[in-house]
Structure 1
Amino acid sequence: MTHASFSSTTEAHSGFPGSGSSMGDADRAHPLPSGAVPPTPAETLAQRFDWLIDAMPVERTLLDRSLVRAVRRLDPDGHLILRRIRVAGGATFDLLALPDGFLDRPAHRDALRALRSRRHRLGCPLRLIREAVVSREPRLSNARLIHESAGFHPSRCATRRLIRHLFAEGGSATLRDCLPPLRGETDPACAILALVASKFLAVDLDHPLGPESRVHLVTRHVPAA
Protein backbone atom coordinates (compact mmCIF):
# COMPACT_ATOMS: atom_id res chain seq x y z
CA MET A 1 0.00 0.00 0.00
CA THR A 2 1.49 3.31 -0.99
CA HIS A 3 1.55 6.24 1.41
CA ALA A 4 -1.01 8.02 -0.78
CA SER A 5 -3.55 5.20 -0.57
CA PHE A 6 -2.82 4.79 3.12
CA SER A 7 -3.43 8.43 3.93
CA SER A 8 -6.68 8.55 1.95
CA THR A 9 -8.36 6.11 4.33
CA THR A 10 -10.27 6.62 7.61
CA GLU A 11 -10.09 10.19 8.78
CA ALA A 12 -6.65 10.54 7.17
CA HIS A 13 -3.86 8.17 8.01
CA SER A 14 -5.50 5.46 10.10
CA GLY A 15 -5.30 2.97 7.24
CA PHE A 16 -8.99 2.05 7.51
CA PRO A 17 -11.65 3.18 5.02
CA GLY A 18 -14.42 5.54 5.91
CA SER A 19 -12.76 8.96 6.01
CA GLY A 20 -14.85 10.86 8.54
CA SER A 21 -17.55 8.19 8.62
CA SER A 22 -15.61 5.43 10.35
CA MET A 23 -18.13 5.36 13.22
CA GLY A 24 -21.02 4.64 10.90
CA ASP A 25 -19.51 2.91 7.90
CA ALA A 26 -21.57 -0.11 6.89
CA ASP A 27 -19.75 -3.38 6.37
CA ARG A 28 -19.82 -4.89 2.89
CA ALA A 29 -19.08 -8.43 1.79
CA HIS A 30 -15.96 -9.09 -0.25
CA PRO A 31 -14.57 -12.37 -1.59
CA LEU A 32 -11.77 -13.97 0.39
CA PRO A 33 -8.34 -14.38 -1.19
CA SER A 34 -7.91 -17.77 -2.82
CA GLY A 35 -7.22 -20.38 -0.16
CA ALA A 36 -7.74 -17.94 2.72
CA VAL A 37 -9.57 -19.06 5.86
CA PRO A 38 -11.91 -16.43 7.34
CA PRO A 39 -11.10 -15.35 10.90
CA THR A 40 -13.16 -17.07 13.59
CA PRO A 41 -15.08 -15.42 16.43
CA ALA A 42 -12.41 -16.72 18.82
CA GLU A 43 -9.90 -14.41 17.18
CA THR A 44 -10.31 -11.32 19.29
CA LEU A 45 -10.78 -7.77 18.16
CA ALA A 46 -7.28 -6.99 19.49
CA GLN A 47 -5.76 -9.78 17.38
CA ARG A 48 -7.55 -8.66 14.22
CA PHE A 49 -6.70 -5.01 14.81
CA ASP A 50 -3.02 -5.88 15.32
CA TRP A 51 -2.94 -7.97 12.14
CA LEU A 52 -4.14 -4.99 10.14
CA ILE A 53 -1.74 -2.51 11.70
CA ASP A 54 1.20 -4.89 11.32
CA ALA A 55 0.37 -5.44 7.63
CA MET A 56 0.54 -1.70 6.89
CA PRO A 57 3.64 0.46 6.26
CA VAL A 58 3.38 2.14 9.65
CA GLU A 59 5.31 1.93 12.90
CA ARG A 60 3.71 1.11 16.23
CA THR A 61 4.78 3.44 19.05
CA LEU A 62 4.32 3.68 22.81
CA LEU A 63 0.90 4.67 24.05
CA ASP A 64 0.20 8.01 25.70
CA ARG A 65 -0.32 7.21 29.39
CA SER A 66 -2.89 9.95 29.89
CA LEU A 67 -4.95 8.56 27.02
CA VAL A 68 -4.63 5.02 28.39
CA ARG A 69 -6.04 6.25 31.71
CA ALA A 70 -8.89 8.09 29.96
CA VAL A 71 -9.83 4.98 27.98
CA ARG A 72 -9.73 2.82 31.12
CA ARG A 73 -12.09 5.22 32.91
CA LEU A 74 -14.47 5.02 29.95
CA ASP A 75 -14.14 1.24 29.56
CA PRO A 76 -12.96 -0.43 32.79
CA ASP A 77 -13.72 -3.90 31.37
CA GLY A 78 -11.13 -3.48 28.62
CA HIS A 79 -13.33 -3.92 25.54
CA LEU A 80 -11.81 -0.95 23.69
CA ILE A 81 -8.49 -1.55 21.90
CA LEU A 82 -6.04 1.36 21.85
CA ARG A 83 -3.02 1.53 19.55
CA ARG A 84 -0.68 4.35 18.47
CA ILE A 85 1.01 4.47 15.05
CA ARG A 86 3.51 6.65 13.24
CA VAL A 87 3.11 7.01 9.47
CA ALA A 88 5.64 7.97 6.82
CA GLY A 89 6.61 11.57 7.40
CA GLY A 90 6.49 11.21 11.18
CA ALA A 91 2.85 12.06 11.99
CA THR A 92 1.46 10.10 14.96
CA PHE A 93 -2.13 8.93 15.40
CA ASP A 94 -4.02 7.13 18.15
CA LEU A 95 -6.45 4.45 16.98
CA LEU A 96 -9.31 3.16 19.13
CA ALA A 97 -11.12 0.02 17.95
CA LEU A 98 -14.74 -0.20 19.11
CA PRO A 99 -16.42 -3.60 19.59
CA ASP A 100 -19.82 -4.22 18.06
CA GLY A 101 -22.58 -2.66 20.14
CA PHE A 102 -20.32 -0.31 22.11
CA LEU A 103 -21.85 2.78 20.50
CA ASP A 104 -25.40 1.61 21.15
CA ARG A 105 -25.33 3.34 24.53
CA PRO A 106 -25.71 7.14 24.29
CA ALA A 107 -23.36 7.56 27.27
CA HIS A 108 -20.59 5.77 25.36
CA ARG A 109 -21.16 7.88 22.25
CA ASP A 110 -21.08 11.13 24.21
CA ALA A 111 -17.96 10.13 26.16
CA LEU A 112 -16.09 9.15 22.99
CA ARG A 113 -17.02 12.40 21.26
CA ALA A 114 -15.78 14.37 24.25
CA LEU A 115 -12.55 12.36 24.42
CA ARG A 116 -11.91 12.81 20.71
CA SER A 117 -12.55 16.56 21.00
CA ARG A 118 -10.10 16.86 23.90
CA ARG A 119 -7.42 14.99 21.96
CA HIS A 120 -8.02 17.19 18.93
CA ARG A 121 -7.51 20.33 21.01
CA LEU A 122 -4.22 18.86 22.25
CA GLY A 123 -3.11 18.23 18.66
CA CYS A 124 -3.24 14.45 19.19
CA PRO A 125 -5.72 12.99 16.66
CA LEU A 126 -7.81 10.05 17.89
CA ARG A 127 -9.43 7.83 15.24
CA LEU A 128 -12.42 5.68 16.18
CA ILE A 129 -12.65 2.41 14.23
CA ARG A 130 -15.74 0.19 14.33
CA GLU A 131 -15.27 -3.59 14.62
CA ALA A 132 -17.15 -4.00 11.33
CA VAL A 133 -14.44 -1.92 9.64
CA VAL A 134 -11.66 -3.97 11.27
CA SER A 135 -13.32 -7.19 10.07
CA ARG A 136 -13.91 -6.08 6.49
CA GLU A 137 -12.83 -8.44 3.73
CA PRO A 138 -10.62 -9.07 1.89
CA ARG A 139 -8.41 -6.74 3.93
CA LEU A 140 -8.57 -8.79 7.14
CA SER A 141 -7.80 -12.12 5.47
CA ASN A 142 -4.92 -10.50 3.58
CA ALA A 143 -3.56 -9.17 6.87
CA ARG A 144 -3.93 -12.59 8.45
CA LEU A 145 -1.90 -14.19 5.63
CA ILE A 146 0.83 -11.58 6.19
CA HIS A 147 0.76 -12.28 9.93
CA GLU A 148 1.13 -16.02 9.31
CA SER A 149 4.14 -15.36 7.06
CA ALA A 150 5.90 -13.09 9.55
CA GLY A 151 8.09 -15.86 10.96
CA PHE A 152 9.56 -16.69 7.57
CA HIS A 153 13.00 -15.14 7.02
CA PRO A 154 14.11 -14.80 3.38
CA SER A 155 17.86 -14.69 2.86
CA ARG A 156 19.65 -11.35 2.80
CA CYS A 157 20.83 -11.95 -0.75
CA ALA A 158 17.31 -12.64 -2.00
CA THR A 159 15.99 -9.60 -0.13
CA ARG A 160 18.64 -7.35 -1.67
CA ARG A 161 17.90 -8.72 -5.15
CA LEU A 162 14.19 -8.01 -4.73
CA ILE A 163 14.77 -4.48 -3.39
CA ARG A 164 17.10 -3.70 -6.31
CA HIS A 165 14.52 -5.11 -8.73
CA LEU A 166 11.74 -2.94 -7.30
CA PHE A 167 13.97 0.11 -7.31
CA ALA A 168 14.76 -0.50 -11.00
CA GLU A 169 11.01 -0.80 -11.70
CA GLY A 170 10.29 2.57 -10.10
CA GLY A 171 9.46 1.19 -6.68
CA SER A 172 6.54 -1.05 -7.65
CA ALA A 173 5.88 -4.30 -9.52
CA THR A 174 3.33 -7.11 -9.58
CA LEU A 175 3.73 -9.96 -7.16
CA ARG A 176 4.35 -12.24 -10.16
CA ASP A 177 7.25 -10.06 -11.32
CA CYS A 178 8.75 -10.11 -7.83
CA LEU A 179 9.17 -13.90 -7.80
CA PRO A 180 12.28 -14.29 -10.07
CA PRO A 181 14.57 -12.23 -7.78
CA LEU A 182 13.64 -14.67 -5.00
CA ARG A 183 14.88 -17.73 -6.83
CA GLY A 184 16.22 -20.33 -4.42
CA GLU A 185 13.77 -19.43 -1.66
CA THR A 186 11.58 -22.28 -0.45
CA ASP A 187 8.39 -20.24 -0.84
CA PRO A 188 8.92 -16.97 -2.76
CA ALA A 189 5.35 -15.75 -2.26
CA CYS A 190 5.64 -16.32 1.48
CA ALA A 191 8.97 -14.46 1.42
CA ILE A 192 7.24 -11.42 -0.11
CA LEU A 193 4.54 -11.43 2.58
CA ALA A 194 7.22 -11.80 5.27
CA LEU A 195 8.94 -8.69 3.88
CA VAL A 196 5.60 -6.86 4.07
CA ALA A 197 5.37 -7.86 7.74
CA SER A 198 8.95 -6.58 8.21
CA LYS A 199 7.98 -3.20 6.66
CA PHE A 200 10.38 -3.60 3.72
CA LEU A 201 7.44 -3.86 1.30
CA ALA A 202 3.80 -2.82 1.18
CA VAL A 203 0.77 -4.23 -0.62
CA ASP A 204 -2.78 -3.04 -1.21
CA LEU A 205 -4.84 -4.87 1.41
CA ASP A 206 -8.20 -3.85 -0.05
CA HIS A 207 -8.05 -6.30 -2.98
CA PRO A 208 -7.53 -10.08 -2.86
CA LEU A 209 -3.83 -10.92 -2.99
CA GLY A 210 -2.78 -12.67 -6.18
CA PRO A 211 -0.19 -12.70 -8.98
CA GLU A 212 -1.25 -9.25 -10.23
CA SER A 213 -1.23 -7.57 -6.81
CA ARG A 214 1.07 -4.56 -6.71
CA VAL A 215 4.06 -4.77 -4.39
CA HIS A 216 5.60 -1.45 -3.32
CA LEU A 217 9.02 -0.73 -1.90
CA VAL A 218 8.79 1.16 1.40
CA THR A 219 10.61 4.47 0.96
CA ARG A 220 13.12 4.05 3.75
CA HIS A 221 14.44 0.88 2.07
CA VAL A 222 15.19 2.50 -1.30
CA PRO A 223 18.87 1.81 -2.07
CA ALA A 224 21.22 4.78 -1.78
CA ALA A 225 22.33 6.23 -5.12
Structure 2
Amino acid sequence: MISAIANSSRIPFKATPRLPSDWLAEALDTHLAIAPRVIDFRPVPSSRERLKSCMGPRGSIVRLARLADRILVVVAIPDEADTPPGFRRELARYWGTTNLLIVRESWLLREPRLEVISAVVACLDQIPSVTDWLRIERHLLELGGSSCLEECVAQVRQHEDPAGAVLALVAAGWLRIEVSRPLSGSSVISLPVRRDRGRLVVGG
Protein backbone atom coordinates (compact mmCIF):
# COMPACT_ATOMS: atom_id res chain seq x y z
CA MET A 1 0.00 0.00 0.00
CA ILE A 2 1.09 3.53 -0.67
CA SER A 3 1.61 5.40 2.58
CA ALA A 4 4.21 7.13 4.65
CA ILE A 5 3.71 5.29 7.91
CA ALA A 6 6.73 4.84 10.14
CA ASN A 7 7.19 1.61 12.05
CA SER A 8 5.89 2.44 15.53
CA SER A 9 8.44 0.09 17.11
CA ARG A 10 11.26 2.41 16.06
CA ILE A 11 11.01 5.09 18.72
CA PRO A 12 13.37 8.04 18.20
CA PHE A 13 15.86 8.89 20.95
CA LYS A 14 14.31 12.32 21.39
CA ALA A 15 10.64 12.83 20.67
CA THR A 16 9.82 15.83 18.50
CA PRO A 17 6.64 17.74 19.44
CA ARG A 18 4.02 17.46 16.73
CA LEU A 19 0.97 19.48 15.82
CA PRO A 20 -2.47 17.95 16.55
CA SER A 21 -2.99 17.62 12.79
CA ASP A 22 0.08 15.33 12.64
CA TRP A 23 -1.51 12.96 15.15
CA LEU A 24 -4.75 13.02 13.17
CA ALA A 25 -2.92 12.30 9.90
CA GLU A 26 -1.00 9.41 11.47
CA ALA A 27 -4.17 7.89 12.92
CA LEU A 28 -5.99 8.17 9.57
CA ASP A 29 -3.06 6.68 7.64
CA THR A 30 -2.81 3.83 10.14
CA HIS A 31 -6.46 2.93 9.64
CA LEU A 32 -6.28 3.16 5.86
CA ALA A 33 -3.13 1.02 5.75
CA ILE A 34 -5.03 -2.11 6.81
CA ALA A 35 -8.56 -1.25 5.69
CA PRO A 36 -9.68 -4.42 3.84
CA ARG A 37 -11.14 -2.62 0.81
CA VAL A 38 -8.40 0.00 0.40
CA ILE A 39 -5.84 -0.87 -2.29
CA ASP A 40 -3.72 2.22 -1.72
CA PHE A 41 -4.09 5.83 -0.62
CA ARG A 42 -2.29 9.14 -0.87
CA PRO A 43 -2.44 12.66 0.56
CA VAL A 44 -3.83 15.55 -1.46
CA PRO A 45 -1.24 18.37 -1.83
CA SER A 46 -3.91 21.03 -2.31
CA SER A 47 -6.22 19.71 0.42
CA ARG A 48 -5.80 22.74 2.69
CA GLU A 49 -6.96 25.12 -0.02
CA ARG A 50 -9.76 22.78 -1.07
CA LEU A 51 -11.03 22.42 2.49
CA LYS A 52 -10.95 26.18 2.95
CA SER A 53 -13.03 26.62 -0.19
CA CYS A 54 -15.58 24.18 1.24
CA MET A 55 -15.62 25.87 4.66
CA GLY A 56 -13.90 22.80 6.07
CA PRO A 57 -12.87 22.72 9.76
CA ARG A 58 -9.32 23.84 10.43
CA GLY A 59 -6.88 20.99 11.02
CA SER A 60 -8.83 18.49 8.92
CA ILE A 61 -6.91 15.86 6.93
CA VAL A 62 -7.75 14.54 3.46
CA ARG A 63 -6.70 11.30 1.77
CA LEU A 64 -7.67 9.82 -1.58
CA ALA A 65 -8.20 6.08 -1.13
CA ARG A 66 -8.33 3.75 -4.13
CA LEU A 67 -10.82 0.91 -3.81
CA ALA A 68 -11.46 -1.83 -6.35
CA ASP A 69 -14.46 -0.01 -7.81
CA ARG A 70 -13.91 3.68 -7.05
CA ILE A 71 -11.82 6.46 -5.57
CA LEU A 72 -12.95 7.49 -2.09
CA VAL A 73 -12.29 10.92 -0.58
CA VAL A 74 -11.65 10.43 3.15
CA VAL A 75 -11.75 13.47 5.45
CA ALA A 76 -10.73 13.30 9.12
CA ILE A 77 -12.02 16.14 11.32
CA PRO A 78 -10.67 17.22 14.74
CA ASP A 79 -13.14 16.71 17.59
CA GLU A 80 -13.07 20.33 18.69
CA ALA A 81 -14.02 21.56 15.23
CA ASP A 82 -17.62 22.25 14.28
CA THR A 83 -18.78 20.97 10.92
CA PRO A 84 -20.53 23.82 9.10
CA PRO A 85 -24.00 23.20 7.62
CA GLY A 86 -23.78 21.87 4.10
CA PHE A 87 -20.11 20.88 4.44
CA ARG A 88 -20.62 17.44 2.92
CA ARG A 89 -22.60 18.89 0.03
CA GLU A 90 -19.93 21.52 -0.67
CA LEU A 91 -17.20 18.90 -0.42
CA ALA A 92 -18.98 16.66 -2.92
CA ARG A 93 -19.48 19.57 -5.30
CA TYR A 94 -15.86 20.71 -5.08
CA TRP A 95 -14.44 17.22 -5.65
CA GLY A 96 -17.12 16.30 -8.17
CA THR A 97 -18.00 13.04 -6.40
CA THR A 98 -20.39 11.62 -3.83
CA ASN A 99 -17.82 9.00 -2.78
CA LEU A 100 -17.01 10.70 0.51
CA LEU A 101 -16.23 9.40 3.98
CA ILE A 102 -16.02 11.85 6.89
CA VAL A 103 -14.64 10.54 10.19
CA ARG A 104 -14.07 12.17 13.55
CA GLU A 105 -10.80 12.22 15.49
CA SER A 106 -12.45 10.43 18.44
CA TRP A 107 -13.32 7.45 16.20
CA LEU A 108 -9.78 7.24 14.79
CA LEU A 109 -8.13 7.47 18.22
CA ARG A 110 -10.56 5.16 19.99
CA GLU A 111 -8.97 2.36 21.99
CA PRO A 112 -8.41 -0.51 21.69
CA ARG A 113 -9.02 -0.08 17.94
CA LEU A 114 -6.01 2.22 17.41
CA GLU A 115 -3.72 0.10 19.58
CA VAL A 116 -4.49 -3.06 17.61
CA ILE A 117 -4.25 -1.40 14.21
CA SER A 118 -0.98 0.33 15.13
CA ALA A 119 0.52 -3.00 16.19
CA VAL A 120 -0.53 -4.55 12.89
CA VAL A 121 0.92 -1.70 10.81
CA ALA A 122 4.21 -1.98 12.70
CA CYS A 123 4.54 -5.54 11.30
CA LEU A 124 4.10 -4.63 7.63
CA ASP A 125 7.58 -5.91 6.74
CA GLN A 126 7.30 -9.23 8.61
CA ILE A 127 5.60 -11.30 5.87
CA PRO A 128 6.16 -15.05 6.53
CA SER A 129 7.24 -17.71 4.08
CA VAL A 130 4.69 -19.31 1.76
CA THR A 131 4.95 -22.53 3.76
CA ASP A 132 4.09 -20.79 7.02
CA TRP A 133 1.22 -18.94 5.35
CA LEU A 134 -0.20 -22.21 4.03
CA ARG A 135 0.02 -23.74 7.52
CA ILE A 136 -1.91 -20.81 8.98
CA GLU A 137 -4.51 -20.91 6.22
CA ARG A 138 -5.03 -24.66 6.61
CA HIS A 139 -5.36 -24.26 10.38
CA LEU A 140 -8.03 -21.57 9.96
CA LEU A 141 -9.94 -23.55 7.33
CA GLU A 142 -9.99 -26.61 9.57
CA LEU A 143 -11.61 -24.47 12.29
CA GLY A 144 -14.20 -22.90 10.02
CA GLY A 145 -12.26 -19.76 9.16
CA SER A 146 -11.21 -18.31 12.52
CA SER A 147 -8.93 -19.05 15.46
CA CYS A 148 -7.05 -17.20 18.18
CA LEU A 149 -3.77 -15.37 17.58
CA GLU A 150 -1.85 -17.74 19.87
CA GLU A 151 -2.85 -20.80 17.85
CA CYS A 152 -2.07 -19.08 14.55
CA VAL A 153 1.37 -18.10 15.87
CA ALA A 154 2.00 -21.77 16.69
CA GLN A 155 1.71 -22.57 12.96
CA VAL A 156 4.69 -20.34 12.10
CA ARG A 157 7.93 -22.35 11.96
CA GLN A 158 10.28 -20.40 9.66
CA HIS A 159 10.10 -16.84 10.98
CA GLU A 160 12.06 -15.24 13.81
CA ASP A 161 8.98 -13.28 14.94
CA PRO A 162 5.97 -15.62 14.63
CA ALA A 163 3.49 -13.13 16.08
CA GLY A 164 4.77 -10.41 13.77
CA ALA A 165 4.41 -12.79 10.83
CA VAL A 166 0.73 -13.37 11.57
CA LEU A 167 0.06 -9.67 12.05
CA ALA A 168 1.87 -8.97 8.77
CA LEU A 169 -0.69 -11.16 7.01
CA VAL A 170 -3.40 -9.00 8.58
CA ALA A 171 -1.62 -5.87 7.36
CA ALA A 172 -1.45 -7.38 3.85
CA GLY A 173 -5.19 -8.03 3.87
CA TRP A 174 -4.91 -11.84 3.80
CA LEU A 175 -6.25 -12.17 7.34
CA ARG A 176 -8.56 -10.18 9.60
CA ILE A 177 -8.22 -9.39 13.31
CA GLU A 178 -10.77 -8.21 15.83
CA VAL A 179 -10.23 -4.63 17.01
CA SER A 180 -12.90 -4.38 19.70
CA ARG A 181 -10.64 -5.86 22.40
CA PRO A 182 -6.99 -5.22 23.36
CA LEU A 183 -4.40 -7.22 21.43
CA SER A 184 -3.59 -10.54 23.14
CA GLY A 185 -3.06 -14.22 22.43
CA SER A 186 -6.84 -14.68 22.44
CA SER A 187 -7.46 -12.03 19.75
CA VAL A 188 -9.58 -13.57 17.01
CA ILE A 189 -7.84 -14.05 13.66
CA SER A 190 -9.98 -14.96 10.67
CA LEU A 191 -9.86 -15.48 6.94
CA PRO A 192 -11.63 -12.81 4.86
CA VAL A 193 -15.13 -13.61 3.67
CA ARG A 194 -16.15 -12.77 0.11
CA ARG A 195 -19.34 -13.15 -1.89
CA ASP A 196 -19.25 -15.47 -4.90
CA ARG A 197 -22.39 -15.91 -7.02
CA GLY A 198 -24.59 -14.95 -4.11
CA ARG A 199 -22.81 -17.22 -1.63
CA LEU A 200 -20.44 -16.25 1.17
CA VAL A 201 -17.06 -17.93 0.73
CA VAL A 202 -14.33 -18.07 3.40
CA GLY A 203 -10.81 -17.21 2.25
CA GLY A 204 -9.20 -16.84 -1.17
Q: TM-score, with normalisation over the residues of structure 2?
A: 0.70
Consecutive unaligned residues in structure 2, runs of 5 or more = 1-10, 195-201
Q: Comparing both structures, which one devotes a greater share of its residues to helix?
A: 1
CA separation of 1:112 and 1:44: change in aligned 2, threshold 3 A: same
Within 5 Å, give how 1:76-155 maps onto structure 2.
Answer: 79-85=59-65, 90=69, 93-103=72-82, 108-115=83-90, 118=93, 124-155=98-129
* Contact 1:56-1:202 at 8 Å conserved across structures: no
Q: Comparing both structures, which one devotes a greater share of its residues to strand?
A: 2
Consecutive unaligned residues in structure 1, runs of 5 or more = 1-36
User: How much is the aligned-residue C-alpha RMSD, in angstroms?
Assistant: 3.6
CA separation of 1:145 and 1:62: change in aligned 2, threshold 3 A: closer
Deviation at 1:56, TM superposition (A): 2.8
CA distance in 2, matches of 1:83, 1:203: 24
Within 5 Å, give how 1:19-58 maps onto structure 2.
Answer: 42=18, 44-58=23-37
**Farther off after superposition, 166-175 or 212-221:** 212-221
Q: TM-score, with normalisation over the residues of structure 1?
A: 0.64
* CA offset digits 1:47-92 (Å, max 9, x no partner): 11111222332214567x8x967435236997322234466x8576
1:8 corresponds in structure 2 to: none
Bigger relative contact order, structure 1 or 2 (CA pairs below 8 A, ≥6 apart): 1
* Contact 2:38-2:66 at 8 Å conserved across structures: yes
* Matched letter for residue 120 of structure 2: I
* Matched letter for residue 107 of structure 2: V
Q: Alignment identity in percent? A: 28
CA distance in 1, matches of 2:174, 2:40: 18
